[in-house]
């Protein structure tokens, strides 16, 4: 199922990219990818466990609307709640938050990506498997909109480039940064009041507001 969902995620940018010159108001910029991860093993407190989580990236922006925050698209999968993952396995999800500046800048801003911070609290090593997306080629924007932030994975502070199953040891920390969606239209055409609202809401940094959008906050 996860492999099918990852392929589906890359079809809309191809289709909408081809249709954009003909139907500019009906198209949508590319969405951030999906970062399926799961951990499995055996633990005295949890027994044999196998927990899957399917985080989504930010949505791409449209002609008249910002991209939505992380949501299933175009498939209808759901994300395992943090409480369920922690109840069923010896892994703590220390943080799950939107990533500032991860939405592609544009007249309409792309949806933000999301960051997970995982900590292994097992009594012995377990296995963590990650299938990331858009690590080198972020979700592109449309009509002058900029790409969303690319994805990234860090294990104990070291950036990972190869994704064979990981031996996740007690005390290990893993950070997953799921990509943001692409923007729509030139960033300098964004309403300055929307940029200021993005800064107040923690979606865009004050620095990016000035450099990318040309708005003094």
Model confidence, pTM: 0.91
Q: Helices 11-19 & 2-9, crossing angle to 10 degrees?
A: 20
One pLDDT digit (tens) per residue for the chain, 217 residues: 456 777 777 888 888 888 899 999 999 999 998 889 999 999 999 999 999 999 999 999 999 999 999 988 887 778 889 999 999 999 999 999 999 999 999 999 999 999 999 999 999 999 999 999 899 999 999 999 999 999 999 999 999 999 999 999 999 999 999 999 999 999 999 999 999 999 999 999 999 999 999 999 8
How many CB atoms lie under 10 A from the CB of residue 77? 15
């Amino acid at each position: 199922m996860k492999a099918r969902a990852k392929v589906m995620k890359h079809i809309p940018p191809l289709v909408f990219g081809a249709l954009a010159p003909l139907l500019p108001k009906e198209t949508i910029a590319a969405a951030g990818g999906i970062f399926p991860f799961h951990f499995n093993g055996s633990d005295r407190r949890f027994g044999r466990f196998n927990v899957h989580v399917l985080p989504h990236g930010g949505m791409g922006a449209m002609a008249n609307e910002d991209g939505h925050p992380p949501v299933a698209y175009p498939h209808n999968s759901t994300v395992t709640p943090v409480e369920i993952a922690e109840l069923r396995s010896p892994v703590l999800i220390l943080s799950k938050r939107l990533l500032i500046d991860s939405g592609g800048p544009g007249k309409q801003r792309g949806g933000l990506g999301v960051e997970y911070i995982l900590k292994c609290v097992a009594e012995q090593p377990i296995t963590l498997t990650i299938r990331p997306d858009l690590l080198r080629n972020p979700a592109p924007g449309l009509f002058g909109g900029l790409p969303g932030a690319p994805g990234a994975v860090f294990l104990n502070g070291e950036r990972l480039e190869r994704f064979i199953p990981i031996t996740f040891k007690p005390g290990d920390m893993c950070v997953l940064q799921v990509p943001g969606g692409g923007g729509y239209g030139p960033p300098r055409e964004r309403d300055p009041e929307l940029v200021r609202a993005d800064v107040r809401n923690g979606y865009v940094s004050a620095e990016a507001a000035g450099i990318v959008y040309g708005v003094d906050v």
